[in-house]
């Protein structure tokens, strides 16, 4: 996803404009210029990526390979955030009741441009949970006798919201299991089968990159299948934006939820709702929020939020653009492949995420054969930390059982991945 020249100009002019005096800012080394290499070749250029890693101020007390929770800010973004925080505090309610609204509208415009949608089709909120709960709960095209569909690899809070539609809307709730090992064809086939078996399905939740195994789901194919049957898709793109290169237009999506605090590297508390303009009225106005039927701002009420976090979004987008989405995705996949290619030889290990580059980027999970309980996986996560200083996270979600997720970030390097493989050998 790239910025148009006009939007790039806007971001350059406005981002960080008020932050020069941030009192707590740490100096970051200058961003290196990008060698003229194809993304996959650049991915292995350790000296370039060491300079990018130096943009992040992060503890070396732990080899942190759990970067799926959220993505820490790079230092230049952090400096901008401190500056915005200082400004909001200094200029106080006079700013908040004055120029702030225009400034936030400019932020919305920059995000809309980034997504290549119109600014009246998005609303900034605090995160993907808020965005998707509003979409799932507010979708009012359902009648008793209809069905909705979700999958075991969807996010927990979204699974609960889908399940809740049984009482809220009186619909049948159907859950499918994404096959293990997942391949493009068997994932698409699982949705096709469910759609064929249940002609009363009216709406489906589809996750773009799932948080349990990091699988990139074939959203384009699933959305096309749904569209051809008149099924609406609500897209959970929390983990995709900024991790992988995609164009929202390719998915023909009417409803989607995102955050910017995972892979875009904005401060925690930045998410957004997308609704295609002609579908806004299909999501209820939020708790009698005033506004007309086609006004996306009537779909959420964020109240007093962390203004400084949202004001920092353009700074985060600039940093993200300087790295480049294709380059970022390739580097993350390169780090992932470093550990997976070696770990596959460890007896008993199952790598749950396929090597197909269209189905994986940074995140991959593993499970030792037969070790499917939360206790067993917690014990392994604990041992990785206590014996090897390697931090990962146990995931409880796939129907086949618990697993452990590994998620490198741009500040990780090849040594971190080697450290992980050594640690994994000790679990065998
Ligand atoms: C697939 C998925 N959807 C939604 C969310 C919720 O995102 P947020 O933290 O922005 O509320 C997450 C968070 O990890 C996620 O992984």
DSSP string, 254-316: SEEEEESSSSS-PPSS-EEEEE-GGGGGGB--GGG--S-TT-GGGG----S--HHHHHTHHHH
Tell me the mean pLDDT in the region 315-339.
Answer: 98
Give the Å distance between the CA of 259 and the centre of ligand 1.
7
Which contacts (CB < 8 Å, 24+ apart) does range 185-194 have? 187/215, 187/217, 187/218, 187/222, 188/218, 188/221, 188/222, 188/225, 190/151, 191/149, 191/222, 191/225, 191/226, 192/225, 194/149
The model carries a pTM of 0.94
Cα separation, 369 vs 396, in Å, equals 16
User: Of all protein residues, whose CA lies closest to atom 7 belonging to ligand 1?
Assistant: 128
pLDDT at residue 6, as a whole number: 45
Q: What is the CA radius of gyration of the chain?
A: 22
Q: Which domains are delineated in the chain?
A: 119-299 (3.40.640.10), 326-425 (3.90.1150.10)
pLDDT at residue 3, as a whole number: 45
pLDDT at residue 27, as a whole number: 83
Q: Closest ligand 1 atom to the C-alpha of 132?
A: 4
Q: Closest ligand 1 atom to the C-alpha of 236?
A: 3
Ligand 1 site-directed mutation target among 66, 239, 309, most atoms within 8 Å of CB: 239
pLDDT at residue 23, as a whole number: 63
Task: Give the confidence band of 39 by pLDDT, cuts at 50, 70, 90.
Answer: very high
Task: Give the confidence band of 25 by pLDDT, cuts at 50, 70, 90.
Answer: confident
List pLDDT tens digits, range 101-137: 999 999 999 999 999 999 999 999 999 999 999 999 9
Ligand 1 site-directed mutation target among 70, 178, 211, 363, most atoms within 8 Å of CB: 211
pLDDT beyond 80 at 10: no
pLDDT at residue 262, as a whole number: 98
Asked if residue 53 lies in contact with residue 411, where contact means CB atoms within 8 angstroms, the answer is: yes
Q: Closest ligand 1 atom to the C-alpha of 69?
A: 14
Tell me the mean pLDDT in the region 255-281.
Answer: 98
Give the Å distance between the CA of 17 and the centre of ligand 1.
30
Query: 301: buried, middle or exposed (CB in 10 Å: 19+, 13-18, 0-12)?
Result: middle
Task: Give the confidence band of 428 by pLDDT, cuts at 50, 70, 90.
Answer: confident
Give the Å distance between the CA of 352 and the centre of ligand 1.
20
Query: 84: buried, middle or exposed (CB in 10 Å: 19+, 13-18, 0-12)?
Result: buried
Scanning 128-230, the segments in alpha helix (DSSP H) are 128-138, 156-169, 184-197, 219-228
Q: Closest ligand 1 atom to the C-alpha of 154?
A: 1
Tell me the mean pLDDT in the region 300-306.
Answer: 96
pLDDT beyond 70 at 282: yes
Give the Å distance between the CA of 74 and the centre of ligand 1.
20
DSSP string, 89-115: HHHHHHHHTTTHHHHHHHHHHHHHHHH
List pLDDT tens digits, range 359-393: 999 999 999 999 999 999 999 999 999 999 999 99
pLDDT at residue 22, as a whole number: 58
Largest pairwise CA distance in the chain: 64
Tell me the mean pLDDT in the region 176-187.
Answer: 96
Per DSSP, the three-state class of 419 is helix
Give the Å distance between the CA of 239 and the centre of ligand 1.
7
pLDDT at residue 16, as a whole number: 47
pLDDT at residue 7, as a whole number: 46
Q: What are the beta bridge partners of residue 407? A: 66
When the pLDDT of each residue in the chain is averaged and rounded to a whole number, the result is 94
Q: Closest ligand 1 atom to the C-alpha of 259?
A: 10
Taking Cα atoms as reference points, which of 308, 326, 175 lies closest to residue 244? 326
User: Of all protein residues, whose CA lies closest to atom 14 belonging to ligand 1?
Assistant: 69
User: Of all protein residues, whose CA lies closest to atom 12 belonging to ligand 1?
Assistant: 238
pLDDT at residue 47, as a whole number: 97
Cα separation, 48 vs 35, in Å, equals 8
Per DSSP, the three-state class of 229 is coil
pLDDT at residue 278, as a whole number: 98
Tell me the mean pLDDT in the region 342-361.
Answer: 97
Give the Å distance between the CA of 129 and the centre of ligand 1.
6
Q: Closest ligand 1 atom to the C-alpha of 208?
A: 1
User: Of all protein residues, whose CA lies closest to atom 11 belonging to ligand 1?
Assistant: 129
Tell me the mean pLDDT in the region 16-40.
Answer: 77
Give the Å distance between the CA of 171 and the centre of ligand 1.
25
Written as six digits, the tokens of 324 are 């480049």
Q: In what order do the strands lie in the sheet with 393-395?
A: 349-351, 364-368, 403-406, 393-395
Task: Give the confidence band of 13 by pLDDT, cuts at 50, 70, 90.
Answer: very low
Q: Closest ligand 1 atom to the C-alpha of 261?
A: 10
pLDDT beyond 90 at 17: no
Ligand 1 site-directed mutation target among 70, 125, 128, most atoms within 8 Å of CB: 128
Tell me which residue has tokens 């090992």.
181
Give the Å distance between the CA of 407 and the centre of ligand 1.
15
Give the Å distance between the CA of 47 and the centre of ligand 1.
32
pLDDT beyond 50 at 166: yes
Q: What's 65's DSSP letter?
A: -
Query: 31: buried, middle or exposed (CB in 10 Å: 19+, 13-18, 0-12)?
Result: middle
Give the Å distance between the CA of 238 and the centre of ligand 1.
5
List pLDDT tens digits, range 46-105: 999 999 999 999 999 999 999 999 999 999 999 999 999 999 999 999 999 999 999 999
Tell me which residue has tokens 């909001």.
88
Tell me the mean pLDDT in the region 30-55.
Answer: 97
Pocket of ligand 1 (CB under 6 A): 127-129, 155, 207, 210-211, 236, 238-239, 259, 271
Asked if residue 360 lies in contact with residue 215, where contact means CB atoms within 8 angstroms, the answer is: yes
List pLDDT tens digits, range 383-419: 999 999 999 999 999 999 999 999 999 999 999 999 9
Cα separation, 65 vs 59, in Å, equals 12
Helices (H) and strands (E) in the chain, counts: 14, 13
Give the Å distance between the CA of 303 and the centre of ligand 1.
21
């Amino acid at each position: 996803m790239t910025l148009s020249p006009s939007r790039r100009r806007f971001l350059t002019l406005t981002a960080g404009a008020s932050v020069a005096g941030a009192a707590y800012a740490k100096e970051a080394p200058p961003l290196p210029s990008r060698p003229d290499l194809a993304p996959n070749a650049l991915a292995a250029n350790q000296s370039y990526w060491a300079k990018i890693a130096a943009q992040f101020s992060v503890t070396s007390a732990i080899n942190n390979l759990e970067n799926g929770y959220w993505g820490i800010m790079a230092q230049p973004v952090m400096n901008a955030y401190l500056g915005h925080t200082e400004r909001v505090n200094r200029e106080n309610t006079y700013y908040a009741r004055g120029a702030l609204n225009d400034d936030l509208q400019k932020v919305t415009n920059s995000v809309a441009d980034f997504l290549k949608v119109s600014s009246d089709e998005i609303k900034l909120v605090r995160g993907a949970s808020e965005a998707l709960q509003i979409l799932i709960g507010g979708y009012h095209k359902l009648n008793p006798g209809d069905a909705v569909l979700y999958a075991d690899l969807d996010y927990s809070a979204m699974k609960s919201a889908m399940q809740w539609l049984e009482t809220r809307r009186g619909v049948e709730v159907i859950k499918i299991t994404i096959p293990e090992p997942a391949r493009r064809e068997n994932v698409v086939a699982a949705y096709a089968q469910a759609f064929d078996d249940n002609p009363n399905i009216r709406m489906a939740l589809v996750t773009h990159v799932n948080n349990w195994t990091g699988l990139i789901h074939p959203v384009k194919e699933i959305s096309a299948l749904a569209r051809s049957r008149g099924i609406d898709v609500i897209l959970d793109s929390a983990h995709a934006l900024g991790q992988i290169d995609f164009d929202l237009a390719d998915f023909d999506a009417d409803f989607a939820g995102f955050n910017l605090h995972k892979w875009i590297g904005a401060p925690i508390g930045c998410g957004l709702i997308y609704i295609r303009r002609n579908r806004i009225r299909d999501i209820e106005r939020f708790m009698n929020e005033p506004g007309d039927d086609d006004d996306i701002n009537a779909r959420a009420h964020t109240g007093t939020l962390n203004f400084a976090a949202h004001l920092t979004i353009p700074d985060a987008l600039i940093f993200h653009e300087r790295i480049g989405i294709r380059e970022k995705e390739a580097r993350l996949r390169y780090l992932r492949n470093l550990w997976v290619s070696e770990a596959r030889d460890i007896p008993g290990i199952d790598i749950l995420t396929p090597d197909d580059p269209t189905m994986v980027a940074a995140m991959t999970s593993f499970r030792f054969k037969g070790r499917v309980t939360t206790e067993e996986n917690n014990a392994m996560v604990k041992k990785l930390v206590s014996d090897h200083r390697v931090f990962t996270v146990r995931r409880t979600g796939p129907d086949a059982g618990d697993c452990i997720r590994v998620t490198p970030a741009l500040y990780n390097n090849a040594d971190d991945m080697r450290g992980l493989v050594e640690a994994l050998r000790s679990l065998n």
